[in-house]
Amino acid sequence: MDVQQHRPTRTTGPRQRQHGEVSGDAVSVERTGVAARSLAALRLLMGGIFLWAFADKAFGWGYSTPGGKGWVEGGSPTEGFLSHVTVGPFQSTFRSWAGATWADWLFMAGLLAVGVALLAGIGLRLAAVAGTLMMALMWAAEWPPARHLSDGSPSMSTNPLLDYHVVYAVALIVLALAFAGRTWGLGHMWERLPVVRRNRWLV
């Protein structure tokens, strides 16, 4: 009796791929690379936002700060905004801070430090904390939950909770948690510094 020989069928192991097919691992790596570059782009954009705000308020480039009223020309980067806070439970507190030297220095130092950290890709955890605090204070000064200002006029708020301050704060936190400074930045070099390796909160 003849027994027909059959080549055993392979049932385990990786599936043999046809020419031109991309493995699941390669797709995963590519997606990871795209995500890293996307976060790096977001980091650079956010850094540009903070640094532009610093430069315009420092030199009075005529956008949010009129020419001739820049910080270096004797103007106050906080007085114009805080002195006109007329909404929310903290309006008197914010108005009392308007034009104070310590408020001007803290505000400008925060804008500069967060902007530089984002562009360089270093110290993103500290940048996230500082930037989130700044956004929280600005959110409280504008107080989006209010429909009307203290004089009864419309506040022009479009959302009682979520506005660009919240979006910026969340973006800063995501960038720090995702180590976004490692792509298109100095994150890897920064993390290898002895002081940073001993104090991970500096990452």
In this prediction, residue 125 carries a pLDDT of 97
Contacts of 61 (CB under 8 A, 6+ apart): 55, 67, 70
pLDDT digits (tens, 9 = 90+) for 82-129: 999 999 999 999 999 999 999 999 999 999 999 999 999 999 999 999
Contacts of 127 (CB under 8 A, 6+ apart): 113, 114, 117, 118, 172, 176
Please provide residue 105's backbone torsions phi and psi, each rounded to the nearest 5 degrees: -65, -45
Note down pLDDT in tens along the chain; length 203 residues: 444 444 444 444 444 445 445 466 766 777 789 999 999 999 999 999 999 999 999 999 999 999 999 999 999 999 999 999 999 999 999 999 999 999 999 999 999 999 999 999 999 999 999 999 999 999 999 999 999 999 999 999 999 999 999 999 999 999 999 999 999 999 999 999 999 999 999 99
> Hey, what are 48's tokens?
């540009």
**CA neighbor of 124 nearest in space, from 185, 35, 167:** 185
